[in-house]
Amino acid sequence: MKTDQYDAIVLSSTDEKSAQAMLLEHLKTTPLPDDELLANLGLFLTSKNLSRLLFFYEIYRKIVCTHGIIVEFGVRWGQTLSLLSALRGILEPFNRHRKIVGFDTFEGFVGMNEKDGQACRCRDGSFSVSNRYEEHLSEILTLQEQLNPMSHIRRFELVKGDAAVTVPHYFDRHPETIVSLAIFDFDIYAPTRVALEALRPHLAKGSVLVFDELCDDIFPGETIAVREVFGLNGLRFERYPMTSRVSYAVVE
């Protein structure tokens, strides 16, 4: 099942979708006043959405004592980046080096090829976002930083463009980089493969890699890219029982 506007995949059942639609209607017509809405957003958080937040809380705890930056490969609306910024504010507000960098075209998939199969029924341009969304996201991430200590130092960066070009370019421009957490969520093979290769020299023991589509038959390209670059027995893939899809590996 695809979303109407941006060709994203939704795997919810019909019953789930109708309950979600009603919850959404309650959010849009909420009687909560503006000055209490943000503080009560948990009212609309479903178990599925909460499980992803809890996953990233557990992952962030794993990197608190390792040195380096966080990168997300595939940002889309930026929920994970915003969450990571909030977690940084809670868990290590004074870590000046913990920059958070997000890579995306902000125009949907670029570079789909035969290794991505047919099951997702996607094309270049699927999973796009609204026009100039990166500017909107940049404002949100700036506000996230303003609500935490050290807001005078900007500690996020959004890198727009095809990751097959932008990721190697980023590491060329920043040879000092150590990556302590890398989140792979491009969904497709080509940018994932390039990002894995460019990232590899910047990993250290203890670096954590998160994968959103590993062993996923709808998006086989991510697993193929990991297999080609690391070999599947080169990493120990683990998961938390609370999430269905996301896995991670710690570089040993």
Ligand X SMILES: C[S@@+](CC[C@H](N)C(=O)[O-])C[C@H]1O[C@@H](n2cnc3c(N)ncnc32)[C@H](O)[C@@H]1O
Q: Which amino acid is at 216?
A: D
Indicate the residue among 150 and 169 with the shorter CB distance to ligand X.
Answer: 169
> Which one, of 197, 230, 191, 232, lies nearest residue 215 by Cα?
232
Distance between CA atoms of residues 100 and 155, nearest Å: 6
Under rule CB under 6 A, residue 162 binds ligand X: yes
Distances (CA, A) of 73 to 19, 161, 186: 31, 11, 6
Binding mask 63-102 for ligand X (x = CB under 6 A): ---------x-xxxx-xx----------------------
Q: Using the rule CB under 6 A, is 214 a contact of ligand X? A: no
Closer CB to ligand X, residue 71 or residue 249? 71
Helix (H) / strand (E) element for 208: namely strand 203-211
Query: Mask: binding to ligand X, 122-151, rule CB under 6 A, as x and -?
Result: -----x------------------------
> Hey, what are 117's tokens?
């199969």
Q: Is 108 in the site for ligand X (CB under 6 A)?
A: yes
Residues in the chain: 252
**8 A C-beta contact, residue 81 and residue 156:** yes
Question: Measured from the CB of residue 207, what is the shortest distance to ligand X in angstroms?
Answer: 18
Query: Of these, 68, 191, 220, 221, which contacts ligand X (CB under 6 A)?
Result: 191
Give the footprint of ligand X on this chain (CB under 6 A).
72, 74-77, 79-80, 103-105, 108-111, 127, 162-164, 185-188, 191
